[in-house]
Amino acid sequence: MQKSITTCLTFSKNAEEAIRFYVEIFNQAFGSSKGESKILKITQFGEDELNDLLNVPDVPKDMMPGPVGSVKTIRFLLNGQEFIAVNGGGYFGKFHESMSLYVCCDNQQQIDTLYDALAVNGELQPCGWVKDRFGISWQITPNFLWDMDEDDDKIRSQRVMKSLYDMNKINIEKIKEVWNS
């Protein structure tokens, strides 16, 4: 049964490549310690639905998804969290940092594995952010970062947050040093 809210990532035509990559790197980083990462179901475009889509106003032919038999949707899990990916055609696949996927890691090895894999042909950004080669923005963080940010000692909390501005990939040891200073 589908959850009441599920994140849907709409790609132009490369959803399958992206999702297979995400499942692989999440399995490398976490194994099954935080839940499964796997593809649940893939659907393909049919001829009739693509023909009917041509009748939708403001969908030019060069922006159409397809062809017939190509991947339409992928339902998948990352660390037990369900997502949907769609190949929507040329109108889609323009992701922006306003929406990101926030991943909590238990250790530096998990951070390194995910961040380094996502960074290949991607864009490094401060504070643990990385935009991958598909355009999806990720925040790869230690699992305790929110606790530090929400701590009652605001001076200590702000010190940690300021230290993040000088990091792309987060260094757990460095964060803990700042926290304990």
Q: How far is residue 49's CA from residue 63's CA, in Å, rounded to a whole number?
A: 15
pLDDT 10s digits, 64-119 = 888 999 999 999 999 999 999 999 988 788 888 889 999 999 999 999 999 999 99
- With 90 as the cut, is the pLDDT of residue 35 above it? no
Model pTM score? 0.90
Multiple choice CATH, 95-181, 3.40.640.10, 3.10.180.10, 3.40.718.10, 3.40.50.2300:
3.10.180.10
Closest alpha carbon to 102 in 143, 64, 71, 53: 143
All CATH 3.30.720.100 domain ranges of the chain, comma separated, are: 1-93
The CATH code belonging to domain 1-93 is: 3.30.720.100
pLDDT the model gives residue 134: 96
